[in-house]
């Protein structure tokens, strides 16, 4: 999932440099959403792993 967030971020940067504002805005939004989903799943996994040790 982090891979896809990075791919959309790169697409947003390239689209922004080429002047495609709407595409850049949409790709950046998708990248942000995927990153936060990855972050939440990572934190849940971390808490689950720590609680299983105790």
List the chain pLDDT tens, one digit each, 54 residues: 788 888 988 999 999 999 998 988 999 999 999 999 999 999 999 999 999 886
User: Looking at residue 36, what is its pLDDT?
Assistant: 94
Contacts of 20 (CB under 8 A, 6+ apart): none
The pTM assigned to this predicted structure is: 0.75
> How far apart are the two ends of the chain, measured CA to CA in Å?
29
- What are the sequence ranges of the domains in the chain? 2-53
What values do phi and psi take at 19, rounded to 5? Answer: 95, 10
The whole-number pLDDT of residue 43 equals 95
The dihedral sign for the CA sequence 12, 14, 15, 16: positive
Give the number of other CB atoms < 10 A from CB of residue 53: 5
């Amino acid at each position: 999932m982090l891979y896809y967030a990075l791919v959309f971020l790169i697409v947003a940067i390239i689209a922004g440099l080429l002047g495609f504002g709407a595409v850049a805005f949409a790709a950046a939004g998708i990248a942000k959403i995927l990153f936060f989903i990855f972050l939440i799943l990572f934190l849940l996994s971390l808490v689950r792993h720590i609680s299983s040790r105790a």
